[in-house]
Amino acid sequence: MAIAKKSVVWGVFAAGGTVAAFLFPALIALFGLVASGTVPEGLEYANLHGFASTWIGKIILFFVISLALWHAAHRLRVVFHDFGVRKDKIVAKAVYLVAAIGTLLTAYYLFAIG
Amino acid sequence: MSRNPYVRPVSPTTWYMRNGRYIKYMLREVTCLLVGFYSFFLICVLAILAGGSEERWLAFLASQQNAFWLAFHVIALLFYLVYMTFDWFQLAPKAMPLQVGEQKVPPAFIVAAHYVAWAVVTALVFLLAGVF
């Protein structure tokens, strides 16, 4: 892999990891709260839909989800290697394809929310 | 006559079982499965919101309210905090050492700053979500 390309992958990995490390625990806790039977005000339909309808909300959601996806994809690629799968080209294509699909779906749904 | 080369027998599939540090490394790396899972979980949330029907959203919330999902999220959160978030903070000064003038910023300070920032971010998310 060319150095320039590698540094882009590394940059996205680090940015995604930072986003995932800082934000995901709070989000998982919110889902846990919902599962326990308490739906916080912000997760009521009107409020959440309203947040995802604003431009700032869309930008935040898009960057959080897509960066986390690319972080997970890159790390999963290494995990495959660590578990003894020595087919990096296929693994890389597969994990990055899934991340790309997730990124497109995120953009599409955010657009569809209006 | 050449001597036999010394080949260390290392299993490509179970090598990390030899050492506690390696096991910890693997536990940290597999947290990417949780990052991927919750990313797609969030995409599902967006898909339901894009449907534009409050009934579907309420049905989704109801489908989440059971012991399975509660246990899943609680275990995921604990595992995630220990092996993803806190590990990420511990590694930050190694991945990104800081220097101010001639002085190196102490690693413990960088790690502590991450914990403080994380607490602020978490409080902000809870505030926005209306938890308190």
B contacts of A94 (beta carbons < 8 Å): none
Give the C-alpha separation, B109 to B93, whole Å: 9
For residues B11 and B53, state if they share a domain.
yes
In a domain, B89, yes or no: no
pLDDT above 60 for A1: no
Per-residue model confidence (pLDDT) at position B5: 87
* Number of domain units in chain B: 2
pLDDT above 70 for A104: yes
A54: left (phi over 0), alpha (psi -120 to 50) or beta: beta
Please indicate if any CB of chain B lies within 8 Å of the CB of A22: yes
For residue range B56-81, list pLDDT tens digits in order.
999 999 999 999 999 999 999 999 99
Boundaries of domain holding B24: 7-83
To test the contact with chain A by mutation, choose from B18, B25, B32 the residue with the greatest count of A C-beta atoms within 10 A, namely B32
How far from chain centre, in Å, is Cα B13?
23
Please indicate if any CB of chain A lies within 8 Å of the CB of B36: yes
Confidence category of residue B108, pLDDT binned at 50, 70, 90: very high
For residue B41, how many C-alpha atoms fall within 13 Å in the half-sphere facing its CB?
18
Confidence category of residue B1, pLDDT binned at 50, 70, 90: low
CB B65 within 8 A of CB A35: yes
In a domain, B107, yes or no: yes
- What CATH number is attached to the domain comprising B50? 1.20.1300.10
pLDDT above 80 for A88: yes
For residues B61 and B15, state if they share a domain.
yes
For residue range B8-26, list pLDDT tens digits in order.
888 999 999 999 999 999 9
In a domain, B14, yes or no: yes
Closest alpha carbon to A31 in B29, B44, B54:
B44
